[in-house]
């Protein structure tokens, strides 16, 4: 069940799930052969954990980035401010068991095992564009579930106007937290109607496997129409609030990192243009891609902001 989003897809980018899966199976088979040739004949390549997870109806029908590019070029200040070393530095983060505290304006508050949350939220795959505020981008096949469907299970009350997310604070396992690169812990938030939008997603995996630690295991937000810093990693707390939460990047530099942070090529960052983006993995000779308003998801999300002046910096 695919929704073809005509305006945001270039023909050359279209692959349907079948071709995508076949291609991956061919790649998987090829990998199995090359590994098999080195191993005793009893070995076989294990199928990826989430290979059978269905592609959800809100998935974008576009070609994905290479796994290697997505997994080895990350922003994760809890470990380091450089893009490559989190792959190694985050290796030993203990992501299981994992608990999520739910607080604030809701009926069902408490401390929940991620395992139990997963039992109530069937997994699906969503291929989404992802655009960092630093003007690079990628396309990721996430595995996870609808944020809104999960939030409703906690029965937010009528005072719940915003929802706030907090990352684990543990400087022993997250050595970047010993530096003052941000005022820890990392906090992000959404207006409740943004959080309830069907595109808002919580990821537990990518590329048919668990999330690598450096990409935010075991639970991260994915908000495809907003700059990447909204998509907070390693979430340990969810809090429903009546007033707009103070978020980490906004507190650090409000003029550079707005609360809304909707992708908008017409509104430059104070220090650089947002009109184009460097696609991860593209050669340096490839011209940059034009950034789309709401990262290409305007048809679905623009109505959330009908009362706001989108030329303004939020």
User: Which spans of this chain sit near ligand MTE (rule: CB under 6 A)?
Assistant: 74-78, 132, 167, 186, 215-216, 228-229, 231-234
How far apart (Å, rounded) are the C-alpha atoms in residues 302 and 272? 24
Judged by beta carbon, residue 207 or residue 229, the one nearer ligand MTE is: 229
Q: Site mask, Mo ion, residues 60-89, x = CB under 5 A?
A: ---------------x--------------
Look at the block and give the residue holding tokens 């994760």: 76
78 binds, among ligand MTE, Mo ion, none (CB under 5 to 8 A by kind): ligand MTE
Shortest distance, position 256 Cβ to Mo ion, whole Å = 11
CB of 75 to Mo ion, least distance (A): 5
Task: Find the shortest distance in angstroms from Cβ 226 to ligand MTE.
Answer: 10
Instruction: Name which of ligand MTE, Mo ion, none residue 231 binds, using a CB cut-off of 5 to 8 Å depending on partner kind.
Output: ligand MTE
Tell which positions 154-193 bind Mo ion, by CB under 5 A: none
Q: In angstroms, give the least distance from the CB of 270 to ligand MTE.
A: 16
Binder of residue 226, out of Mo ion, ligand MTE, none (CB less than 5 to 8 A by kind): none
Tell me whether residue 76 or residue 112 sits nearer to ligand MTE (CB atom).
76
Which residues, in sequence order, are bridge partners of residue 112?
100
Of 58 and 130, nearer to ligand MTE (C-beta) is 130
Greatest alpha-carbon pair distance for the chain in Å reads 65
Q: Check binding of 228 to Mo ion (CB under 5 A).
A: yes
- Minimum gap (Å) between residue 87 Cβ and Mo ion: 17
Q: Is 132 in the site for Mo ion (CB under 5 A)?
A: yes
Measured between its terminal Cα atoms, the distance across the chain in Å is 35
* 223 touches Mo ion by CB under 5 A: no
Q: Which residue in the shown chain puts its C-beta closest to ligand MTE?
A: 228
257 is a site residue for Mo ion (CB under 5 A): no
**Which does residue 215 bind out of ligand MTE, Mo ion, none, counting CB within 5 to 8 angstroms by kind?**
ligand MTE
Q: How far is the CB of 154 from ligand MTE (least distance, A)?
A: 21
Under 8 Å CB-to-CB from 277, ≥6 apart: which residues?
Answer: 131, 135, 136, 137, 288, 289, 290, 291
Nearer to ligand MTE, 132 or 160 (CB): 132
Q: Are strands 136-146 and 124-131 parallel, antiparallel or unpaired?
A: antiparallel
Q: Which residues bind Mo ion (CB under 5 A)?
A: 75, 132-133, 228-229
């Amino acid at each position: 069940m695919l929704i073809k989003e005509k305006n945001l897809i270039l023909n050359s980018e279209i692959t349907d799930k079948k071709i995508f899966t076949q291609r991956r199976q061919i790649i998987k088979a090829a990998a199995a052969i090359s590994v098999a040739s080195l191993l005793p004949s009893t070995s076989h390549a294990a199928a990826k954990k989430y290979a059978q997870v269905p592609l959800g109806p809100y998935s974008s029908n576009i070609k994905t980035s290479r796994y290697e590019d997505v997994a080895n070029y990350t922003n994760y200040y809890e470990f380091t401010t450089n893009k490559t070393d989190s792959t190694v530095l985050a290796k030993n983060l203990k992501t299981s068991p994992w608990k999520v505290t739910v607080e604030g304006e809701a009926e069902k508050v408490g401390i929940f095992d991620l395992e139990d949350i997963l039992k109530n939220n069937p997994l699906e795959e969503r291929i989404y564009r992802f655009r960092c505020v630093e003007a690079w981008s990628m396309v990721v096949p996430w595995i996870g579930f609808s944020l809104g469907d999960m939030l409703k299970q906690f029965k937010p009350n009528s005072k719940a106007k915003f929802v706030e997310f907090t990352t684990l604070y543990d400087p022993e396992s997250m050595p970047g937290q010993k530096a003052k690169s941000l005022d820890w812990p990392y906090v992000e938030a959404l207006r409740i109607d943004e959080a309830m939008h069907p595109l808002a997603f919580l990821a537990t995996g990518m590329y048919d496997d668990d999330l690598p630690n450096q990409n935010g295991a075991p639970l991260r937000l994915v908000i495809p129409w907003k700059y990447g810093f909204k998509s907070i990693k390693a979430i340990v707390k969810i809090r429903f609030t009546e007033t707009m939460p103070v978020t980490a990047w906004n507190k650090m530099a409000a003029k550079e990192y707005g609360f809304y942070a909707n992708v908008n090529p017409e509104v430059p960052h104070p220090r650089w243009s947002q009109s184009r983006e460097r696609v991860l993995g593209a050669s340096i000779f490839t011209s940059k891609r034009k950034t789309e308003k709401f990262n290409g998801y305007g048809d679905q999300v623009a109505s959330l902001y009908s009362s706001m002046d989108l030329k303004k910096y939020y």
